[in-house]
Amino acid sequence: MADKSRERNNAGLCSDYGLDERQKAVSREIGLKSFKLIFTVTALISIAWFMVGIFFPDIEISCAYTALSYWAATVTCQCYYGIKASKYGVINSIAVFSFQTVSLFIALFMTVFALWFGVVVRLADIEMENTPLLAAISAIAAVNHYVMYFCGKRNDKVLEEQAKENEEEEQ
């Protein structure tokens, strides 16, 4: 039971479970850059929404669109972290396993949702509210999980290449 909860807790991208001190140092350096990125992007989005509110007071903007923009920014920064971390092979093995299994499944599921809301509903002229929003949310989730799947694959490949290089050097 304890092991299962530990696996759940460490299946995320930002967990440094099982990493050694060098890997943690690399992971945290990338994390710091990601934090700077998310801070900048969030600040810019906040300023943009503030400007819209000031200069176009008559426009009614759904809270959902505001939330969506922040979520897109968060996902972008998470993808940035994942891509950089996988480049150095510092994503922990439990997270890599979950990316290669669960993420692909979720990505495919979300792609179907995005296509349904973005294409089928429009073409079939089915009456539904907020279809662009739902399509956008599904598309962002799909992209996020495709990127995580790619990061898991790349992380494994990097580790394999490093192991090969080491073996050659040892010989």
Task: Return the range that interacts with other proteins (CB under 8 A); candidates 57-65, 102-110, 148-156, 160-168.
Answer: 160-168
Residues 78-97 that bind other proteins (CB under 8 A): 89
Q: Which residue, 9 or 166, is less far from other proteins as judged by CB? A: 166
Among 21, 58, 60, 129, binds other proteins (CB under 8 A): 21
Residue with tokens 């972008």: 76
Give yes or no for residue 46 binding other proteins (CB under 8 A).
no
Give yes or no for residue 168 binding other proteins (CB under 8 A).
no
Measured CA to CA, the distance from residue 47 to residue 52 in angstroms comes to 9
Residues 98/162, Cβ–Cβ less than 8 Å: no
Q: Which residue, 37 or 159, is less far from other proteins as judged by CB? A: 159
Sign of CA dihedral 30, 32, 34, 37: negative
Among 8, 25, 48, 56, binds other proteins (CB under 8 A): 25
Measured CA to CA, the distance from residue 50 to residue 45 in angstroms comes to 8
CB neighbour class for 121 (10 Å; exposed up to 12, middle 13-18, buried from 19): middle
Q: By the criterion CB under 8 A, which residues form the site for other proteins?
A: 20-23, 25, 89, 159, 162-163, 165-166, 169-170
